[in-house]
Amino acid sequence: MESKVSEGDLSLKKSDLSFFFEPQSVAVIGSLREGYFGGYVVIKTLLNAGFLGKIYPVNPSYQEVLGLKVYPSIKEIPEKIDLALIMINRRSVPDVLRECAAKGIQAVIVVADGFAERDEEGAKLQNEILKIARDARIRIIGPNTAGIVNSANGLTPDPYEPGYKKVKKGAVAICAQTGMINPQAFPYGDLHYGVSKICDFGNKCDVDECDLLEYLEGDPSTKVITLYLESIKDGQRFLKISRRVSSQKPVLILKSGRTKEGARVSASHTGALAVDDEIFTAACKQAGVLRLERFREFFELPKIFSLQPLPKGNQLGIVTFTGGVGVLAIDEGEKYGLSTAPLSPEIVERLNAIFPGLGKTVVDIGPPMAVNNYMTIYSEILKAVLADDHIDCLFNVIWTSPFEEFVKEYLKFYAEMQGNYQKTIATWVYGPSIPLVNELSSGLEDLGFPVFSDLEMAIKALGMAYQYSNRKKGEA
Amino acid sequence: MMGKLSIFDQLKKEGRSILTEFESKRLLKQVGIPVVETKLAKTQKEAVSLSQKMGFPVALKITSPDVIHKSDSGGVRLSINNVNGVKKAYDEILKKISKQYPDALIHGVSVQKMVRPGTEVIIGTSKDPQFGPVMMFGLGGIFVEVLKDVSFRIIPVDRRDAQAMIQEIKGYPLLEGVRGREPSDIPALEEMILKISNFVEAYPEIKELELNPIFAYKDCAVAVDARIVLE
C-alpha cells in the first residue's frame, strides 16, 4: 500500500509531528451533511471533546455548521492553518492538497479512501499526492485513515460518530494500520487506564511507524507505546529508532503476517529459513521491543506499564482464593522467566500470626475469608506480602463475593494503598456477578491497579514488565 | 582488502555471481575466519604434491564456476589416504565432470585437509527485503534441515546478539557438551558470527554467504565448506 517517491528535502524534522497533534487551528474539508460519517461528525466530535484550537469548516455549499462559519475554500480562511483534514472524493484530493500547499499548511490528514488500497488508479493518485506533499514540504497521515487523537487538547477529529465526548487521558499511545483503534471502535471514554495519543497510519504513504515512534519518544504524556503493523517501511531505520525509543519507554508491537508464506525461494538454507516472521522476531529482540501475539493483548498489556512501577527482579508473589489458581499461575509465570520463591521468614511468621498456615509461597486467603473481621485481615495480609523483600511483583487475585459491601470495602482499602507500595501488581478479579466484577475492576483501574481479563493475561503482563526491566538494566 | 575487491570485479567481468568453494574460502580466510586448509591443483602432479605437503587423509573436490552441486555430480572424493588414491581420484573427478558438463570451465581440483568430525554448525547470511542483511545460526545436518532449529539477527550483530543467538537454539546444550560429547568452543563461534557480520556489512554486494558445515571442537571451530553468492 506504500508509494515510492524520492524523499526529497524535508525542511521539517522527520519526527516533528506537532502540527498534527498540537494544532492551534484545524481546517475540515469535506461533506458537512448531518449524518454518521464525514466532516460534520469530525466537527461535532471536536466540539464535544472541547478541542482547544480553532476549527474552520470548508465547503462551498454551506454558510454555517454547528455554530461555526463555513469557508468556501481554504484560501478564504483569513488565518494560519496548522492541520487540514481532507474527506472528499479521491479525484479531488490532489487539487485540494495544492490549495493546502498554497496556504502554507504543513500537516494534512487524508481521511479519503480509494487510493493504493483499492486499485491502479488509486495507487497513481497516491503517488501524485505524495509528490505534491514532498514538493510543498507537507507531511501526510493516510490516505485511507480514521485519523488521530490527542487526549490532552481534545483533538479527536473522528470521521465516525463515537457516541461519547471525551477520550480519557492516560499514558498509553496506540498506533495502528487500521481504524480499528479509533474512538468509534473502542470505549476510550470508559476505558479506565486512559490513552495519550491515537494514530491510524492508513496507507502510510508518508508518516509511518518510525515517525510516530520518534514523536512519541519526546511526548511527555506517553509512557508506553503500542503498535499494530502490517508491514515495516524501512527495516534498518525501524531497528535503529525502535531500539533507541524502547530504551526509554516500552514499545509493544503486534504484527500480522506471521505465516511462512513470506519464505523466499533460495539456494541456501539461510535464505529458505529466513521467513518474514523469524526476521521480525529477531529485529524485535535486537531492538528490545516487546512482541504481542493477540489483538486482545494490544489493549490490555500496556496497562501494566502505564499504571505500575517496573519490577526489580523476577520473584513472583501470589495472593489467591484457591490453591488451584496459584498452581496455574506458577506454571504460567515460568514461561516468562518469573519464579516463585518462598516468602522471607519474617513475613511467613507475620502471616501465620494473622491466620494459621497462611505463610506459604502461594498465599491462599480462601480459609481466612470465613472469619468475621475478614476485611481487616485482608488488608493486613496484602500489606505483609507487599512488604516482603523476597517478592518483586504480585499476581493479585480478588474474588468479589456476591455482596456489594465487599466490593466497596476492597475499593476503600486499595484507595489507601494507592502510592504506598513498590511492587508491580497485576490483578485478576472474578466472582458470581458481572456487574460486581465490572464495578471492582473499573474502580481498581481508576486507582491505578490494572485489572486483566484472565489469569494468563495478568501473568503475561508481569512477565513483560520483568522482561522490560531486564532490557532497561541491559542498557545501563 | 584488495583481494576481495578484485575477486568481486573478476566475477562481474566473467558474468557470474557465485564464488566457487575455493574462492569463497580464500576470501573468508583473508577476513580472519578459520577455514579448512584448501589448495587448488591444476594438474594431477600438483594434487599429489599438495596432498603430500598437507598430509593424509585429504579430500579432492572439483573447482568450477559451472558445477554448483559438486558431490551430486561425482565431483567430490573424501578420505583419500595415499598418493595413488589422489591420482585415481583426480582422474575420475575430471572424467565424470567432463562427461556431465562438457562445456564447464574447470579451475582445477581443490585439495583439502580432512579434519576429524566435530559438532556441525551452520552460519549463514541472506538479504531480507525489509531489513537488509540478516544472520542465521544453527546446528548443522538434520538440526537445520529437519528441525529448523536456527536463530536470526539483523546485521550488524554485536557481541550480545551473537551470544544470544547461540544460546537461543534448542540444541544449545549440545554445544555445551552433553552425555560425554565434546563441548564446543562457543567464544570461537561468537567470533565467527561477528567477523561475518562485519564482512557482510562492509560488502553490500554479498547476497548470501553460508558456512556449512563448520566443525566446532573444544578449543576451536573451522569452516569445512563455504559458499558466497553476489547480487
Contact yes or no for A239 and B210 at CB 8 A? no
Q: Count Cβ atoms below 10 Å from residue A128 Cβ, excluding itself.
A: 16
Terminal-to-terminal C-alpha distance of chain A:
39
**Second CATH level (architecture) for the domain A309-475:** 3-Layer(aba) Sandwich (3.40)
Q: Count Cβ atoms below 10 Å from residue A247 Cβ, excluding itself.
A: 16
pLDDT band at A366 (very low <50, low <70, confident <90, very high): confident
Across the range B130-138, mean pLDDT stands at: 94
Distance CA A149, CA A196 (A): 8
- Decide if A316 contacts A393 (C-beta within 8 A): yes
- Which chain B residues are Cβ-neighbours of A285 within 8 angstroms? 153, 161, 164
Residue A263 has pLDDT above 50, yes or no: no
Among the partner-chain residues B132, B136, B161, the one whose CB lies closest to the CB of A273 is B136
Minimal C-alpha gap between B145 and chain A (Å): 8
* Alpha carbon of residue A215 to chain centroid: 15
Rg (CA), chain B: 18
Contact yes or no for A269 and B131 at CB 8 A? no
Distance CA A123, CA B203 (A): 35
Look at domain A18-303 and name its CATH class: alpha beta
Q: What is the pLDDT of residue B1?
A: 46
Among the partner-chain residues B131, B150, B154, the one whose CB lies closest to the CB of A273 is B150
Residue B223 has pLDDT above 60, yes or no: yes
- Which chain B residues are Cβ-neighbours of A266 within 8 angstroms? 126, 208
Q: Does B163 touch chain A (CB under 8 A)?
A: no
Residue A234 has pLDDT above 50, yes or no: yes
Distance CA A445, CA A170 (A): 11
- Decide if A211 contacts A199 (C-beta within 8 A): no
pLDDT band at A7 (very low <50, low <70, confident <90, very high): very low
Distance CA A105, CA A136 (A): 9
Rg (CA), chain A: 25
Tens-digit pLDDT profile for residues A32-65: 998 888 999 999 999 999 998 999 999 999 999 9
* Alpha carbon of residue B93 to chain centroid: 20
- pLDDT > 70 fraction of chain A, expressed in percent and rounded: 92
CATH number of B2-113, picked from 3.30.1490.20, 1.10.3720.10, 3.40.50.1010, 1.10.10.10: 3.30.1490.20
Residue A251 has pLDDT above 50, yes or no: yes
Contact yes or no for A231 and B130 at CB 8 A? yes
- Which chain B residues are Cβ-neighbours of A231 within 8 angstroms? 130
Distance CA A50, CA B7 (A): 68
Residue ranges matching CATH 3.40.50.261 in chain A: 18-303, 309-475
Q: If residue B49 lies in a helix (H) or strand (E), which one and from where to where?
A: helix B44-54
Q: Count Cβ atoms below 10 Å from residue B152 Cβ, excluding itself.
A: 29
Across the range A304-326, mean pLDDT stands at: 95
Residue A2 has pLDDT above 60, yes or no: no
Q: Count Cβ atoms below 10 Å from residue B219 Cβ, excluding itself.
A: 10
Label residue B45 exposed, middle or buried (CB < 10 Å: 0-12, 13-18, 19+): exposed
Query: Which amino acid, one-letter code, is at A217?
Result: E
E-strand stretches of A177-298 = 195-200, 224-229, 251-255, 290-292
DSSP state of B18: B
Q: Does B126 touch chain A (CB under 8 A)?
A: yes
Residue A267 has pLDDT above 70, yes or no: no
Tens-digit pLDDT profile for residues B14-49: 888 999 999 999 999 999 999 999 999 999 999 999
Among the partner-chain residues B134, B148, B208, the one whose CB lies closest to the CB of A282 is B134
| Percentages (nearest 5) of helix, strand, coil residues in chain B | 40, 30, 35
Residue B64 has pLDDT above 60, yes or no: yes
Residue B10 has pLDDT above 90, yes or no: no
Contacts by residues A339-346 (CB-CB < 8 Å, ≥ 24 positions apart): A339/A314, A339/A315, A340/A315, A340/A316, A341/A315, A341/A390, A342/A390, A343/A317, A343/A385, A343/A388, A343/A390, A343/A391, A344/A388, A344/A389, A344/A390
Which is it for the CA torsion A102, A108, A114, A119, positive or negative?
positive
Residue A264 has pLDDT above 60, yes or no: no
Contact yes or no for B124 and A269 at CB 8 A? yes
Residue A68 has pLDDT above 60, yes or no: yes
Distance CA A85, CA A147 (A): 9
Distance CA A400, CA A99 (A): 59
pLDDT band at A375 (very low <50, low <70, confident <90, very high): confident
Minimal C-alpha gap between A282 and chain B (Å): 5
What DSSP string describes A38-93? SHHHHHHHHHHTT-SSEEEEE-TT-SEETTEEPBSSGGG--S--SEEEEES-GGGH
Contact yes or no for B144 and A269 at CB 8 A? yes
pLDDT band at A15 (very low <50, low <70, confident <90, very high): low
Contact yes or no for A285 and B164 at CB 8 A? yes
- Which chain A residues are Cβ-neighbours of B226 within 8 angstroms? none
Tens-digit pLDDT profile for residues A141-172: 999 999 999 999 999 998 998 889 899 999 99
Q: What is the pLDDT of residue B3?
A: 52
Q: What is the pLDDT of residue A5?
A: 46
- Decide if A290 contacts A468 (C-beta within 8 A): yes
Contact yes or no for A269 and B161 at CB 8 A? no
Among the partner-chain residues B130, B145, B152, the one whose CB lies closest to the CB of A278 is B152
The mean of the pLDDT values for chain A is: 90
- Decide if B211 contacts B223 (C-beta within 8 A): yes
Distance CA B130, CA A234 (A): 6
Q: Smallest Cα–Cα separation from A168: which of A221, A227, A111, A246?
A: A221
Residue ranges matching CATH 3.30.1490.20 in chain B: 2-113
A-interface mutation test, from B128, B147, B214, most A Cβ less than 10 A away = B128
- Decide if B222 contacts B117 (C-beta within 8 A): no
Query: Domain B119-230 carries which CATH code?
Result: 3.30.470.20
* Chain A residue with minimum CA distance to B145: A269
Distance CA A168, CA A145 (A): 22
Tens-digit pLDDT profile for residues A184-216: 888 888 888 899 999 999 999 999 999 999 999
Contact yes or no for A273 and B144 at CB 8 A? yes
Query: Which amino acid, one-letter code, is at A40?
Result: Y
- Surface of B (192-221) touching A: CB under 8 A: 208, 210, 212
Residue ranges matching CATH 3.30.470.20 in chain B: 119-230
Q: At what angle do helices A345-354 and A374-386 cross, to 10 degrees?
A: 180
Q: At what angle do helices A276-287 and A235-246 cross, to 10 degrees?
A: 30
The answer to whether the bond into B156 is cis (omega within 30° of 0) is: yes
Distance CA A55, CA B91 (A): 87
- Decide if B43 contacts B51 (C-beta within 8 A): no
Which phi and psi angles does B100 have, rounded to 5°?
A: -80, -35
pLDDT band at B181 (very low <50, low <70, confident <90, very high): confident
* Chain B residue with minimum CA distance to A279: B152
Tens-digit pLDDT profile for residues B72-118: 888 999 999 999 999 999 999 999 999 988 888 999 999 999 999 99
- Decide if A289 contacts A305 (C-beta within 8 A): no
The mean of the pLDDT values for chain B is: 92
Distance CA A127, CA A135 (A): 12
Minimal C-alpha gap between B86 and chain A (Å): 30
Q: What is the pLDDT of residue B178?
A: 85
Q: What is the pLDDT of residue A368?
A: 85
Contact yes or no for A268 and B229 at CB 8 A? yes
The contacts of residue B226 (CB under 8 Å, 6+ apart) are B21, B24, B25, B28, B35, B209, B210, B211, B212
